[in-house]
Amino acid sequence: MHIAQVHDWSEGPRYVTVDDPPAPTETQIQLRVLAAGLHQVVRSRASGQHYSANSLPHSVGVDCVGRDVATGKLYYCVNMQASFGSFAELITVAKGTVHALPESVDPLSFAASVNPGMSSWLALTQRTSNLPKSYTVLIVGATSASGRLAVFVAKALGAGKIIGVARNEAALAKIEGLDEFIVQKDPVTDTDFSQVDCDIVLDYVYGVLTLHLLSTISVPRPLQYVNIGSLSRDEIAIPSALLRSRDITIRGSGPGAIAPQIIQHEIKRLVPTMAGWGLPGAHGVPLKDIEEAWQDKSLQSKGRLVFIP
Ligand SMILES: NC(=O)c1ccc[n+]([C@@H]2O[C@H](COP(=O)([O-])OP(=O)(O)OC[C@H]3O[C@@H](n4cnc5c(N)ncnc54)[C@H](OP(=O)(O)O)[C@@H]3O)[C@@H](O)[C@H]2O)c1
């Protein structure tokens, strides 16, 4: 069968032929992969920069939607082990890592959405505490795939109001479900957060924007900040006076901050919830084209990418 595999961290993935995986044992299942998502974590692992996979050769991909070869039933599968790769025609995995899906699910959209959707689900369920009823969420980086899904997730988990922050006004204005939005200015320190009233910040951007937000937001209640991503690639130093001058709790959310067994438990709750949503579409790329597609930055403008064997 064919898989995507990295042999040299500086090269990116290659389309290679390997033996088919072994037939499943009683505790395993074999899936024919239909779509595997190109998430930030997949890029990071395939470039040797992620702690969860640092040996070569590296098989690409952490999750997929596929059909049980034996029964034809549809499943979502996620596995962060270093030896696992979902950019493959067939995978044999432990039954505990797959989640049954209804036939109504679009495999491409679903494969593209669970990983980014999980980011806000875990942040809100595991990295906040004592949220007031109908709380207000501020999503920083609302036009990212994760930020867009955070709008659905926050609503599903009881948010009463959702405010989005991003630099692209046209894209921001089109996001369904936002009650308000704030356009990030250039320089970011010109962005006006002084009128924002929220209980939680979910931050996908970090950097100077975050420092400016935390320094200028003036909320008369406890504020819970959860860092989820760092799209800006900036680092910041938070002045001690900022931490002492307001009721603010700062946390991060991701594997490490949350134990693996809790993540597995939450995936079991999230997958059936997401199966009922009208998820954003995804752009499918044939796996055999992975070498060119990996280098083609313009493909990203087509939206979320999934690879189809
Ligand atoms: N901790 C976790 O569990 C977890 C899980 C998933 C993702 N993440 C992290 O969350 C972040 C978002 O991931 P994603 O896959 O959703 O991203 P994505 O869809 O690839 O987001 C890309 C978009 O983010 C916006 N963006 C990029 N740089 C920006 C900047 N400097 N300032 C403001 N906006 C910027 C751009 O939108 P515009 O072009 O519209 O401006 C860009 O199109 C990443 O850092 C990722 O590693 C964390």
**Confidence class of residue 206 from pLDDT cuts 50, 70 and 90?**
very high
> Domains of the chain by range and CATH?
2-115+258-308 (3.90.180.10), 128-252 (3.40.50.720)
Higher pLDDT, 22 or 234: 22
- Which of ligand 1's atoms lies nearest the C-alpha of 228? 1
Inform me whether the pLDDT recorded for 300 exceeds 80: no
What Å distances lie between residue 164 and 21, 155, 220, CA to CA?
A: 44, 13, 20
- Ligand 1 atom nearest 147 alpha carbon: 16
Contact 148, 142 (CB under 8 A): yes
Say which residue the tokens 């910041």 belong to.
236
What is the reported pTM?
0.94
User: What is the pLDDT, as a whole number, of residue 181?
Assistant: 97
Q: Is the CB of 231 under 6 A from ligand 1?
A: yes
Q: Which atom of ligand 1 lies nearest, measured to the CA of 257?
A: 1
pLDDT at 301 over 80: no
Show contacts of 284-289: CB within 8 Å, 24+ apart: 284/35, 284/108, 284/308, 287/2, 287/3, 287/4, 287/15, 287/87, 287/89, 288/2, 288/15, 289/15
Confidence of residue 233 (pLDDT cuts 50, 70, 90): confident
Q: How confident is the model at residue 306 (pLDDT cuts 50, 70, 90)?
A: very high
Can you give the pLDDT at residue 68?
Answer: 98
Burial of 252 (0-12, 13-18, 19+ CB in 10 A): middle
- For a pocket test of ligand 1, which of 190, 231, 302 has the largest count of ligand atoms closer than 8 A to its C-beta? 231
- Among 123, 42, 125, which Cα is nearest to 304's? 42
Q: Quote the pLDDT of residue 64.
A: 98
Please state, in angstroms and rounded to a whole number, the distance separating the CA atoms of residues 204 and 140.
6
DSSP 8-state assignment for residue 21 = P
Query: Residue 79 corresponds to which tokens in the numbers above?
Result: 């596995």
Quickly state the pLDDT bin for 298 (edges 50, 70, 90): confident
Residue 147 C-alpha to ligand 1 middle, in angstroms? Answer: 8
**Average pLDDT estimate for 61-69:** 98
Identify the residue whose C-alpha is closest to ligand 1 atom 13: 146
Answer whether 205 contacts ligand 1 (Cβ < 6 A): yes
Kindly state if the Cβ of 228 falls inside 6 Å of ligand 1.
yes
β-pair partners for 286: 308
Residue of minimum CA distance from atom 38 in ligand 1? 168
pLDDT band at 129 (very low <50, low <70, confident <90, very high): very high
Residue 75, strand partner residues:
66, 100
State whether the beta carbon of 121 lies less than 6 angstroms from ligand 1. Answer: no
144 in contact with ligand 1, CB cutoff 6 A:
yes
Mean pLDDT of 180-208: 97
